[in-house]
Structure 1
């Protein structure tokens, strides 16, 4: 018989990752959950899956609450850790769409409890009663939190329906333009109101504030790619957080990830993760 922890590991990883926006922290939570599960009285656990989800959710809540102070002093924009996902979304039912970088960024604006309620209800399909049991809160309270969180997300979540073929074409044009150092070609694939957020965590070159406009964004991007430490790097398309994005490698090792939204065939919101401490999810596909 398969151990319930191993059977549900990908679901548990997805839960922790979406709660925390961090591959490394999600893996730490899963390790703690395994220790809890391993020492539990299995005979007394009637519903192992519910027990494990409750354990992971509460461990994630504790970690998220304690990490808020750290994020408030973070150098520059904070972006979630990128995660390589399978191109075939059908094989990644727990991860596809629900882990888009855009959604994870918006989830950061919720309180830890709001985030947990939203994910458990909207993403994983748990009822309000089940969530009340997981979080040990009255069901009416959970319903109020769910309503507030849903309205908050709907008001802030970018909504772009992109044709996959169009996304492939724009990604290819963007990579070619950047690799060739062609300023005009880069600007042509950027929307007039493009915004770039870059997360270097104070460890590598990154803009401390968002950059606006095609000229500013394109010049900054090409400047970064021309630096000695990134010379010889390779840009290639990759499925990152359920969407086609760009993976940047130097000597075969992940050095950055770009995810973006499209509007009218152009890149509108560009998110660039280059913090070396946040690139572990690009080397492998965690959660397996």
Structure 2
């Protein structure tokens, strides 16, 4: 029997979070994932006009996965020529705790970055099997391969990925303690405090996309990472006042930064200087972030119960567009090179 519009919407809402989770894992982009899910719904809706789909969940998952594979294939060239490091778009905790509830620990930016080593079809098979626990027969139908071929693809994908780390993410309370220590050390310019909380194997990634100045290569080791972070604290926060909002980013502690309007004149002077130094005008994002209250940066951490294992800093404005603009009532934590002990 043909479903009504209300029934179609009910079914879609039932699987929407699962579909988004698959798409985000595949693409590493919030906006692209949402587009894929919406496109799949429209195609399913059009198909239902002709005949009733007996298994809408399988049909929708197939539509989303195949659209993601196509998008990844077209995006590979762009990512190969991407200026500097490419990082996934950060997934920010929303005010509605049920939103994105299907997402799990595999959402960490570190894990998604590792998946970039896989081809689109390898990524699809790996995720459907390892993260979403589909059996090989289901995966075969979704990706249009035989079950045996999917087994071989998964085996190949595992060879392309490094061994999973022996540490496991700590319960939420403990990473928050580590994050608090990390944040206070950064804001206070405390080199010794930073070295105490950074892992010996710490790695830092920054993504400016060629639009905002950022390190073009990963930074390794606690001393080098600490010096880079304190350089930001000394050279940026002494000039730019920032409202910082702690939040969860991809399931781990992190923060969002918004620029403060009362230092607009200083920013304009800084922009003018940067325009003279660099024809690409890397400071142009400042003005838009100020005027529209848009996020200026996102910092995500990977924490164990005692230390920070990875830091991912995203300042590419295009990857921050989906983050809600700053609410006028949300003052956040105002910093400007000023010590802020005990703020978290």
TM-score range, shorter chain: 0.7 to 0.9
Match of 2:40 in 1: 33
> Retained in 2: the 8 A contact 1:86–1:242?
no
State the Cα distance separating 1:221 from its structure 2 match: 1.8
Indicate the structure (1 or 2) with the bigger Cα radius of gyration. Answer: 2
3-state SS of paired residue (1:155): coil
Match of 2:23 in 1: 16
Judging changes above 3 Å, is the alpha-carbon distance between structure 1 residues 88 and 165 closer, same or farther for their aligned structure 2 residues? farther
Deviations 1:127-181 (A, max 9, x none): 1001111111111101111233245446255743424333111101111122223
Match of 1:213 in 2: 221
1:271 is aligned to 2:278: no
Which ranges in structure 1 are unaligned for 5 or more consecutive residues? none
> Retained in 1: the 8 A contact 2:20–2:100?
no
Q: TM-score, normalised by structure 2?
A: 0.75
> Retained in 2: the 8 A contact 1:23–1:280?
no
> Retained in 2: the 8 A contact 1:17–1:23?
yes
CA distance, structure 1, for counterparts of residue 310 and residue 153 of structure 2: 29
Match of 1:256 in 2: 297
3-state SS of paired residue (2:255): strand
> Retained in 2: the 8 A contact 1:75–1:202?
yes
CA distance, structure 1, for counterparts of residue 167 and residue 203 of structure 2: 16
Match of 1:247 in 2: 256
Deviations 1:32-74 (A, max 9, x none): 2233123213534111111111000000000001100000011
CA distance, structure 1, for counterparts of residue 142 and residue 119 of structure 2: 17
CA distance, structure 2, for counterparts of residue 219 and residue 235 of structure 1: 21
State the Cα distance separating 1:89 from its structure 2 match: 8.4
* Superposed CA RMSD: 2.6
3-state SS of paired residue (1:184): helix
> Retained in 2: the 8 A contact 1:190–1:268?
yes
How many pairs are equivalent?
Answer: 284
CA distance, structure 1, for counterparts of residue 306 and residue 28 of structure 2: 28
Which ranges in structure 2 are unaligned for 5 or more consecutive residues? 1-6, 261-292, 326-344
CA distance, structure 2, for counterparts of residue 146 and residue 87 of structure 1: 36
Match of 1:64 in 2: 72
CA distance, structure 1, for counterparts of residue 117 and residue 165 of structure 2: 11
CA distance, structure 1, for counterparts of residue 73 and residue 313 of structure 2: 25
> Retained in 1: the 8 A contact 2:199–2:308?
yes
Judging changes above 3 Å, is the alpha-carbon distance between structure 1 residues 76 and 87 closer, same or farther for their aligned structure 2 residues? same
